[in-house]
Amino acid sequence: MTKIYITEFEEYCQEQLGLSKHSLRAYRQDLSAFVKFGTKVGLINQPTGQDVIAFQKDLREEQGASPSTIRRRLVTLRSYFKWREEMYPVEQSPFDGLRLDLKIPKRLPRPVDRPTLSALFQSTEHIIELDPMAAPKGLNDVSASKVTGLIARLLVVTGLRISELTSLRVQDVTGAATRIRVRGKGDRERTVYVANDRLQKDFRHYWQCKFDTLGSQAWLFENTNGDCLTPQAYRKRLRTLSRSLRIEPHLTPHRFRHSAATLLIEEGVDIRLVQRLLGHASIATTEIYTKVSDNSLSSAVAAADTLATVDCFTVP
């Protein structure tokens, strides 16, 4: 099989396309999966369209991969061979002339409902016994449990991806801790805003402590060793918190991002402003949250049950 130049392709994606570390890691996994498949079936020559179809079938039937995983693997593979065609014009992509159905079942986002968010925010100040992690270095006056809750509130207000938030440094916060400068997907820069008086006060206190203690170059959020807090570590904190509060399904950072979009749309914020806040390249990605809002409308109408009030009316 044609040698898969994973490292070279990664360098191209990072330097030319500005993809995030998360995307690069996913690309590496997708290409490695194809290499593993080629080794298993003894693929020696330049891959053909039939080899791609066989790979898709293997993912679905042998590995039981989800539709979204299969789609991602094939999209990555197609991007890779397109890059190879540009690098080596004599080669032909196995995707040329190949028609694949890469559609996946559309699932509506699952935001965290308002009562659960309220319970979460009220509880984070009182879970020190349930969260034995020490406070980050230099912030002995701010418990790790409060930091967990602070991050959750920031995610709900700003709509940030957890990878965007954990990669922030102190210097990325400006305007007396009311604005945050973010680099998102495709290395696109945007500014998000910290609303809510109480959140601004808490965040400003936290930010000032970090600035005064560790300086502007420090990571905004750290783990107990003083290193950058990773998305995986924060997800683990949320799972622990979900169990302690008996929240099912468990909380995830991305559900907070869904909540941010849904709450804004339900409050009447223009969808293009929501798109800008979330950093979506396409308005179509943001429009899915209008469907979530429609679900909320349906629930409200069902709860009101206006017809029942008519049925029980007695004509004199």
Q: Which residues are catalytic?
A: 161, 185, 254, 257, 280, 289
Listed residue (13, 15, 34) closest to 24, CA to CA: 13
How many other C-beta atoms are found inside a 10 Å radius of the C-beta of residue 96?
Answer: 10
User: What type of residue sits at position 192?
Assistant: V
Q: Is the dihedral of CA 248, 251, 255, 260 positive or negative?
A: positive
Cα separation of 78 and 75, whole Å?
5
State how far the Cα of 180 lies from the Cα of 172, in Å rounded to an integer: 6
**Residue 213 phi/psi, 5° resolution?**
-90, -45
Indicate the length of the chain as a whole number.
Answer: 316
Q: Give the burial class of 13: count Cβ atoms within 10 A of its Cβ; 0-12 exposed, 13-18 middle, 19 or more buried.
A: buried
Residue 188 near residue 279 (C-beta atoms within 8 A): yes
